[in-house]
Chain A
Amino acid sequence: MRPNHASANNEFNKPLIPLSELKEGDLFIIREFRGCNRFAYRLISMGLYAGVPLIVMKKSFSGRMIIKSGVNSIGLGCGEISKIWVEKI
Chain B
Amino acid sequence: MNNDIKIALLGNPNSGKTSVFNFLTGTNQIVANYPGVTVEKKEGFFNYNGYNINVIDLPGIYSFTAYSLDERVVQQYILNEKPDFLINVIDAGNLERNLYLTVQLIELGIPFIIDLNMYDMLEERKTRVDLEKFKEIFKTEIITTIGNKGTGIDDLKKAIIEFSLRKQNPGKINIRYNERILSSKRKIEDFLAENLDSGISVSTDWLSLKLLERDPYQMDYIASISKDSKKFADYMENLHNEFFSLYHERPEIAVANARYAFIAGAYHSFASSSGELEMTISDKIDHVVTHSALGVVILFIVLFTAYKLVFDLGEYPSELIQKAFNLIGDMIPRIISNDFLQSLIKDGVIAGMGGVLGFVPIIFLMFVFIAILEDSGYMARIAFLFDSLLRKFGLHGSSIISIIISGGITGGCAVPGVLATRIMRSDKERLATIAILPFFSCGAKLPVYAVIISAFFENQRALILIILTVLSWIIALSASLLIRKTILKGPSETFVIELPSYHIPTFRSVMQRTWLRTWMYIKKAGTIILLINIILWFLMRYPDLGKDRKEYYNSMRNNVSHVDEIKKLDNLEAQERLENSIAGRIGKFMVHAGRYIGSDFRMNIALIGGLAAKELILSTLSTAYSLGETDDESSIAEVFKDPMNGWNRLKAFSVLIFIMLYAPCFATLIIILKETGLRWMLFTFAYTTTIAYIISLMVYQGGLLLKSIF
Taking Cβ atoms with an 8 Å cutoff, the residues of A that contact B are 2, 5-8, 10, 27, 33, 36-47, 49-50, 53-55, 57-58, 60-64, 66, 68-80
Contact = CB atoms under 8 A, between A and B. Distances in A.
Contacts of A33: 253
Interface stretch (B281-289, B547-555, B702-710): B281-289
B177 interface: no
Interface string B51-80: 000000000001101011000000000000
B391 interface: yes
A15 B544 CA distance: 83
Contacts of B260: 44, 49
Interface string B116-158: 0000000001000000000000000000000000000000000
A40 B250 contact: yes
Contacts of B94: 47, 70-72
Given A58-B286, A74-B497, A75-B498, 6 more contacts: A39-B496, A42-B68, A42-B496, A44-B253, A57-B286, A76-B495
Contact of B496 (A5, A37, A46, A53): A46
Residues of A contacting B: mostly: mixed
Contact of A49 (B93, B256, B286, B500): B256
A78 B496 contact: no
A66 to B, nearest CB: 6
A68 B286 CA distance: 12
A70 B495 contact: no
Contacts of B387: 64, 77
Interface string B585-628: 00000000000000000000000000000000000000000000
Best-surrounded residue of A40, A42, A70, A76 (most CB of chain B within 10 A):
A70
A71 B252 CA distance: 25
A47 B498 CA distance: 10
Given A6-B249, A41-B252, A47-B97, A68 B283 contact: yes
Contact of B388 (A39, A40, A63, A70): A63
Contact of A71 (B125, B213, B290, B383): B125
Nearest to A37: B250
B253 A41 contact: yes
B495 A61 contact: no
Nearest to B213: A41
Contacts of B280: 71
Nearest to B384: A75
Contacts of B96: 47, 70
Interface in B483-504: 492, 494-501
Nearest to A44: B256
A63 B292 CA distance: 10
A62 B387 CA distance: 10
B277 interface: yes
Contacts of A63: 388
A40 B253 CA distance: 8
Nearest to A49: B260
